[in-house]
Amino acid sequence: MSVMHYLIVSSLLFSLGALGVLLRRNAIIVFMCVELMLNAANLAFVAFSRFHNDAAGAMMVFFVMCVAAAEAVVGLAIIIAMFRNKQTVNLSEFNLFKW
């Protein structure tokens, strides 16, 4: 398999994640779609790393995974706080700028 096959899969995953973020209203689904977009970027980094026989892409994947883990902790805490406040995770129900 060439690097182009991996990039096609990566772009499809990223597009699917972006569509999920734009079209869905459930906060948990949106959160999972953001994680899917990060994994698509990781796949592209690994593909280029293998293509160029360089470890820089693998190191970048490590950093992206660390940021994704921190984002998961903070994101889930925000979702739980939102659910405790409104008893729903539907994003159209929230108005964060309302006093």
pLDDT tens-place string over residues 45-64: 999 999 988 888 889 999 99
Residue 98 lies in a domain: no
Whether 43 maps to a domain, the answer reads yes
> What is the CATH number for 41?
1.10.287.3510
- Tell me which residue range forms the domain holding 76: 3-93
Residue 99 lies in a domain: no
State the amino acid at position 17 in one-letter form: G
Domain count across the chain: 1
| Tokens encoding 13 | 């995953």
* Euclidean distance between CA atoms 96 and 43, whole angstroms: 34
- Please, how many CA atoms are within 13 Å of residue 45, restricted to the half-sphere of its CB? 17
Instruction: Evaluate whether residue 82 is within a structural domain.
Output: yes
Q: Per the domain annotation, does 46 fall within a domain? A: yes
Maximum pairwise Cα distance, the chain: 55
- The pTM (predicted TM-score) of the whole model is 0.84
Whether residue 15 contacts residue 9, with contact meaning beta carbons closer than 8 Å, is answered with no
Among 13-17, 80-84, 91-95, the minimum mean pLDDT is found in: 91-95
Report if residue 79 sits inside a domain: yes
